[in-house]
Amino acid sequence: MPEPFKRAAVPATSVFKPDLFKDKVVFVTGGGSGICYSVTETLMRFGAKATILGRKADRLQAAAVQLSKDTGSEAFAAPADVRDIDSLHAAVKATLEKFGKIDFVICGAAGNFMAPIEGLSSRAFRTIVEIDLLGTFNTVRATLDEIKKQRGTYIHISATLHYSGLPWQAAASAAKAGVDTLSNALAVELGPFGVRSNCIAPGLIAGTEGADRLVPQGGEDIVESFIPLQRPGSKHDIANATVFLFSEAANWITGQIMVVDGGHVHFRAPWLPYPDSVLDPKSFGELFKGSKL
């Protein structure tokens, strides 16, 4: 049986023109760490200036310093809690004082943990919904006037959790489903003002807290076998999708959910080697030996 082909992640800087976002300002919740840190770094490498938001001021300031050093652009730390709209208004005001405008917004702040329904308290459920869904609404509400002025763009970092019933992820699944529909409503309401709103739904992204929690230790190979492109995602993959959706190449794309998951959303019809799997039924069992379908 031939070895599966594994397509490598490609940094956006090898695809798009270097000054793509010169003079643009991006406002990023959750920008101090994880996927949104990498996305912010990529946008800054294309010339954007960035305000990053998070609750831990010291960590956020260190992230802003590092981003500025690594990219040659300018990152500004604005401590805020997306559950508190007043703190978001303060961050918007500080951004305008610093950079004068806001062109792009990434709603990326998120919370999650694994828990069965019977072990999930009302308070815990509410906390995830408040961070993921209410936090997205609050971010939109606080930035809306400025985004309308600039005919700007929203990108909401969603997920693929809610595309099927996923155990131990009820709160995050419900919240992200709400983010998707909120984005669609924004696209319709704000389209006449020249504002676009889209979601990016990452699949399994290597090197993130989510991947560490969701993939059982020693189960990496099994999980990869469910992904048609035969590898977990990279933060580059999400950054590339963000660059595209913010670029003029996507100026007629709004109200969409871009799934970036290597085809994993179709895992119930998993990739099989052909023609071996057809000719020899045993190969199906061997391919998923030890897994729990």
Give the tens place of pLDDT for each residue, 168-225: 889 999 999 999 999 999 999 999 999 999 999 999 888 677 666 666 666 566 677 7
Work out the average pLDDT over 225-249: 91
Work out the average pLDDT over 3-13: 67
Residue tagged 């949104």 (tokens): 36
What integer pLDDT is reported at residue 217 of this predicted model?
66
What are the boundaries of each domain within the chain?
15-287
What integer pLDDT is reported at residue 30 of this predicted model?
96
Residue 28 pLDDT level (bands cut at 50, 70, 90): very high
**Least confident piece of the model among 13-17, 37-41, 88-92, 285-289:** 285-289
Return the higher-pLDDT residue of 123 and 284: 123
- Cα–Cα distance, 152 to 161 (Å, whole number): 28
- Amino acid identity of 65? V
CB environment 207-226: b (16+ within 10 A), e (fewer): ebebbeebbeeeeeebbbbb
Q: Please choose, from the candidates 54, 34, 26, the residue with its C-alpha nearest in 3D space to the C-alpha of residue 131.
A: 54
Whether 176 is catalytic is yes
Residue tagged 């020249």 (tokens): 194
Give the tens place of pLDDT for each residue, 240-285: 999 999 999 999 999 999 999 998 888 754 444 544 444 444 544 4
Give the tens place of pLDDT for each residue, 71-109: 999 999 999 999 999 999 999 999 999 999 999 999 999
DSSP labels, 21-79:
TTT-EEEEETTTSHHHHHHHHHHHHTT-EEEEEES-HHHHHHHHHHHHHHHSS-EEEEE
Work out the average pLDDT over 123-137: 97
**Terminal CA-CA length for the chain:** 22
Does the structure show a pLDDT above 50 at 23?
Answer: yes
Return the higher-pLDDT residue of 226 and 257: 257
Whether 292 is catalytic is no
What integer pLDDT is reported at residue 116 of this predicted model?
87
Query: 15-287 has which CATH code?
Result: 3.40.50.720
The catalytic residue among 176, 197, 225, 235 is: 176
What integer pLDDT is reported at residue 271 of this predicted model?
44
What integer pLDDT is reported at residue 61 of this predicted model?
98
Work out the average pLDDT over 143-157: 98
The catalytic residue among 38, 73, 87, 158 is: 158
Residue 7 pLDDT level (bands cut at 50, 70, 90): low
The whole-model pTM stands at 0.86
